Amino acid sequence: MEQKHVPPDLPPMKDLTTENITENVHIINSKCEDPRLRFLLERLVTHLHDFARETRLSIKEWEAAIKFLVEVGQISTDVRHEFVLLSDVLGLSLLVDAIDNPKLPNATEGTVLGPFHTSDAHHVSSGNQISRDPDGEPLFALCSVKDTQGRPIQGVSIDVWETDSKGFYDVQYSDREEPDGRAILESDENGVFFFKAIVPVPYPIPHDGPVGQLLERLKRHPYRPSHMHFMFKKEGYDRLITAFYLRGDPYESSDAVFGVKQSLIIDLHRVGDYPGLAEKYGVSLETKLLKQDFVLVTAEEAAKVREEDAWKEVKRQGGNLTVVNGLIVPAE
Amino acid sequence: MEQKHVPPDLPPMKDLTTENITENVHIINSKCEDPRLRFLLERLVTHLHDFARETRLSIKEWEAAIKFLVEVGQISTDVRHEFVLLSDVLGLSLLVDAIDNPKLPNATEGTVLGPFHTSDAHHVSSGNQISRDPDGEPLFALCSVKDTQGRPIQGVSIDVWETDSKGFYDVQYSDREEPDGRAILESDENGVFFFKAIVPVPYPIPHDGPVGQLLERLKRHPYRPSHMHFMFKKEGYDRLITAFYLRGDPYESSDAVFGVKQSLIIDLHRVGDYPGLAEKYGVSLETKLLKQDFVLVTAEEAAKVREEDAWKEVKRQGGNLTVVNGLIVPAE
């Protein structure tokens, strides 16, 4: 820490005004040896300062913002992710997801992870029930995972998570003893996985905290349309975080976290619509059926598109930038 | 809360992409009935999204940012203001202060409040010692408060705060029993106030938390040059938050929080330089002397300049904006 006592060899920074403060913050940050972090800070400080200048932000408003951010941090726990929620309701999560998971032809689109994924779901074999809620409407899911050439992918790890019939995830119950409404499955040699669950219901994001208060001041409802989350992982493939949404949900076009995509809206069928299914899987004819194929892209395909997209942005900005490991950094 | 269940009467938001997400967040926020909040959100979301698009922020980086913000919130307490520190080291605090406290001819310039002001300082009469630190170098401060016409202002409440000789504020000691290194004084009929204190020393901002880690990654030192804080309040006058800085401090031109201004850098004198002072105030000839006049503007003068500055910004942006109560809002 001793070296910190030596002031850096930089031009003097005094008499900072609303006009020259930004350039001076860039100068003092310019000693950072990580080019990506330097670029992120340069853009962050520029936007933060432009925001304050364009709005002529008052000290009172700044104080309110600081208080709000402290509250968002303090209500956060291992199972309550209020900053993720804040990012979600501002559309940032969807945007970052769309940037990092570029849409590829024929592949399943991604969407927001949301704040309710956990790392402790049980690994179960296909056919198991993932929800213990007796009040949920039974759903049978018969799904497959393929590559963009239509070939089944075996051995994909599939995280599935959904709320109970009251619209709450297991982690929202303080007496949660073990994971429920979630499981990790694996695709078989035909790329197939199947499980019993319940029909998803719309639910509000947690809105008893600062983010909920913000939504209220913005006259926004906190609801997400009915959906079920999926995460697909296999070495060599790009991780896919997605969900499907039930067509006709009242919140289909006003999702509080902007996660709905046309290609992810689906219709549920009945098991009885497909001859032989009920017997083969031991479910009743009346059971709602989710029949869904998911298409993964390889890690290589995704990296190539990310790299191309980064170069497009570098060209658009026309500045002194380059791309290293798929990330935009200053050219030096 | 029941009304929240009704989705708003808004255009459908589906298939959100990196290009249309921003406009859609604006649309869903457009029901907010507070025009200022609507404007702040519109600008905030625009800059936040532009930041993500220009950097092509990765999910991994977004996750690191969320983790950082949670840590900043969680280390915060009533006496540790880590989000204020974050704002300080990014130059935002100085900027907002400069916006809200426009510089007026002949008036004392303001600077950052910093995270160490408290509301519990003792009210003391002029002449009292405000620091109990026996190791500090004695300082006698003989100051006055005037208006822009040079007339003394009586009855101004003056908050003064400084560190001890080790560079720590009282609130940084876990065994703090009562305020020290701080006091609230009042100006007399000649606008004069005086007190005994210690010569300020340079000190690091608290850097054992996430903001300190950020500074380290940016290769920045956490030091502030030697200074003493002042806050002036009187009905009818614009609140002045300022500080003075000792000329020649090693951190004079690299203040970690960008607070130094040329007009606030001063030289200390010796009490013996001014005949009669030592006897009149009962201090030794060798005691360092701070002799400083502060000039306040009226609330009316400040409001007028704020209003003019807001209109300048509205004209610069050329958008459909107006100014209400000194604040920029959408014109409707």
CA distance A273 to B69: 50
Q: Does domain B82-297 have CATH number 3.40.50.300?
A: no
CA distance B222 to B243: 18
**What confidence tens digit (pLDDT) does each residue in B91-137 have?**
999 999 999 988 788 899 999 988 889 889 999 999 999 999 999 99
Residue of B nearest to A112 (CA): B59
pLDDT for res B256: 93
Answer with the residue of higher pLDDT: B191 or A103. B191
- What is the nearest CA distance from A284 to chain B, expressed in angstroms? 33
Cβ–Cβ below 8 Å for B47 and A50? yes
Q: Which helix (H) or strand (E) element contains residue A31?
A: none
Residues 6+ apart with CB under 8 A from A241: A97, A101, A110, A111, A112, A113, A229, A230, A231
With both helix axes pointing from N to C terminus, report the angle between B92-100 and A59-75 in degrees, rounded to the nearest 10.
150
How are beta strands A227-233 and A240-246 bridged, if at all?
antiparallel
CA distance B157 to B322: 35
pLDDT at B245 over 70: yes
pLDDT for res B10: 60
Segments making up each domain of chain A, as ranges = 105-297, 306-332
pLDDT for res A1: 33
Helices (H), A180-239: 210-217
- What is the nearest CA distance from B300 to chain A, expressed in angstroms? 16
Q: Which range (A88-97, B76-85, B195-204) has the least confidence?
A: B76-85
- Interface check B90 vs A, CB under 8 A: yes
Strand order in the sheet with A288-296: A192-198, A138-147, A288-296, A269-270
**What confidence tens digit (pLDDT) does each residue in B101-114 have?**
887 888 999 999 88
From B56, B90, B313, residue closest to A56, measured CB to CB: B313
Cβ–Cβ under 8 Å, residues B108 and B160: no
- Interface check B39 vs A, CB under 8 A: yes
Enumerate residue ranges in chain A where pLDDT < 70.
1-14
Task: Quote ipTM for the complex.
Answer: 0.90
Q: Tokens 């800070």 label which residue? A: A41
pLDDT for res B9: 57
pLDDT at B57 over 50: yes
Residue of A nearest to B31 (CA): A219
What is the separation of C-alpha B236 from the centre of its chain, rounded to a whole number of angstroms?
Answer: 21
Residue of A nearest to B62 (CA): A96
- Interface check B321 vs A, CB under 8 A: no
Cβ–Cβ below 8 Å for A261 and B15? yes
From A54, A217, A327, residue closest to B313, measured CB to CB: A54
Its CATH class, for the domain covering A105-297, is: mainly beta
Q: Which two tokens stand for residue A192?
A: 């197939």
Residue of A nearest to B37 (CA): A218
pLDDT for res A104: 84
- What is the nearest CA distance from A326 to chain B, expressed in angstroms? 9
- Interface check A325 vs B, CB under 8 A: no
**Closest listed residue to residue A252, CA positions, set B10, B21, B27:** B10
Tell me the average pLDDT of chain B.
Answer: 92
Three-state SS annotation for A254-306: CCCCCCCCHHHEECCEEHHHCCCHHHHHCCCCCCEEEEEEEEECEHHHHHHHH
pLDDT for res A228: 97
**What confidence tens digit (pLDDT) does each residue in B270-309 have?**
999 999 999 999 999 999 999 999 999 999 999 999 999 9
